[in-house]
Amino acid sequence: MKPFPTILSVLLILLVGLGAMASEVAGASVSPPTHRIYLALYRGMTPAEQGFMDYLRDHDLPVEFIVRDAGNDPNAIPAMRDDIRAMRPDLVYSFGTTLTRILAGTQGSIDPAVHITDIPILFNIVADPVGAGLVPDLKSSGRNLTGTMHTVPIAAQYRTLREALPCTRLGILYNPQEPNSALSVDALTQLAERDGLSVLRAPVTPANGSHAVAAAISRVVQDLLDQKVDVIYLPSDSFVIQHARLITGITAAAEIPTFSATEDPVRASGATMGLVSAYYNVGQFAGFKATQILRDHLGPSEIPIESINRFAFLVNVDAARRVHRLPPIALLRVAELICYNEGGCLPDDVAAATVAPPGQSSGPTVPAIPLEASKVEQTEAISATSSGQTQTVERIAPPSPCDPGQPFVLRHDGSASRIELPRCVQDNGAPRVLDAPPLTNRLVLLVQQHLNDQGFDAGRNDGLIGPRTRAAIRRFQTAQGLKTTGMIDFALLDRLQASSP
Half-sphere exposure in the Cβ direction for 413 (13 Å, CA)? 19
Cis amide linkage into residue 438, ω under 30° from 0: yes
SS in 3 state form for 18-53?
CCCCCEEEECCCCCCCCEEEEEEECCCCCHHHHHHH
Reported residue count of the chain is: 501
* Inside any domain, residue 379: no
* Inside any domain, residue 12: yes
* Inside any domain, residue 58: yes
Residues 174 and 78 in one domain: no
Report the predicted TM-score, pTM, of the whole model to 2 decimal places: 0.61
* Inside any domain, residue 318: yes
Strand partners of residue 432: 425
CB 122 within 8 A of CB 93: yes
Residues 72 and 135 in one domain: yes
Name the residue range of residue 410's domain.
4-150+281-307+401-499
CATH number assigned to the domain comprising residue 313: 3.40.50.2300
Q: What is the pLDDT of residue 215?
A: 87
Residues 343 and 451 in one domain: no
Give the N- to C-terminal CA distance of the chain in Å, as an integer.
Answer: 35
How far lies 221's CA from each of 18, 161, 200, 261, 354, in Å?
28, 19, 11, 18, 33
* Inside any domain, residue 387: no
Q: What is the pLDDT of residue 351?
A: 56
* Inside any domain, residue 393: no
CB 41 within 8 A of CB 12: no
Q: Which of 10, 9, 18 is nearest to 492 (CA)?
A: 18
Residues 177 and 296 in one domain: no
Domain boundary among 357, 373, 389: 373
* Inside any domain, residue 444: yes
CB 66 within 8 A of CB 95: no
Residues 103 and 226 in one domain: no
How far is 148 from 480, CA to CA, in rounded Å? Answer: 33
Encode the chain (501 residues) as per-residue pLDDT tens digits.
333 333 333 333 333 333 333 333 334 444 545 899 999 999 888 889 989 999 998 888 899 999 999 988 889 999 999 999 999 999 999 999 999 999 999 999 999 999 999 999 999 999 889 988 999 999 999 999 999 998 888 999 999 999 999 999 999 999 998 888 888 999 999 999 999 999 999 999 876 556 778 888 999 999 999 999 999 999 998 889 989 999 999 999 999 999 999 988 998 889 999 999 888 889 999 999 999 999 999 999 999 999 887 788 999 998 998 999 999 888 888 888 888 665 556 665 555 555 555 444 444 333 322 222 222 223 333 333 333 333 334 333 344 445 555 444 433 344 344 444 455 555 455 555 544 334 445 556 666 676 777 777 877 776 666 777 777 766 765 665 433 333 344 444 454 445 444
Q: What is the pLDDT of residue 14?
A: 39
User: Parallel, antiparallel, or unpaired for β 91-95 and 145-149?
Assistant: unpaired
Domain boundary among 358, 373, 388: 373
Residues 215 and 330 in one domain: yes
Residues 182 and 132 in one domain: no
Tally of domains within the chain: 2
Q: What is the pLDDT of residue 412?
A: 37
Angle between helices 490-499 and 440-453 in degrees, nearest 10: 130
Residues 242 and 217 in one domain: yes
Angle between helices 490-499 and 210-226 in degrees, nearest 10: 60
Residues 294 and 339 in one domain: no
Residues 364 and 303 in one domain: no
Q: What is the pLDDT of residue 414?
A: 42
Half-sphere exposure in the Cβ direction for 128 (13 Å, CA)? 18
Q: What is the pLDDT of residue 30?
A: 46
Q: Which of 140, 139, 186, 179 is nearest to 42 (CA)?
A: 179
Residues 261 and 288 in one domain: no
Residues 180 and 324 in one domain: yes
How far is 140 from 373, CA to CA, in rounded Å? Answer: 9
* Inside any domain, residue 386: no
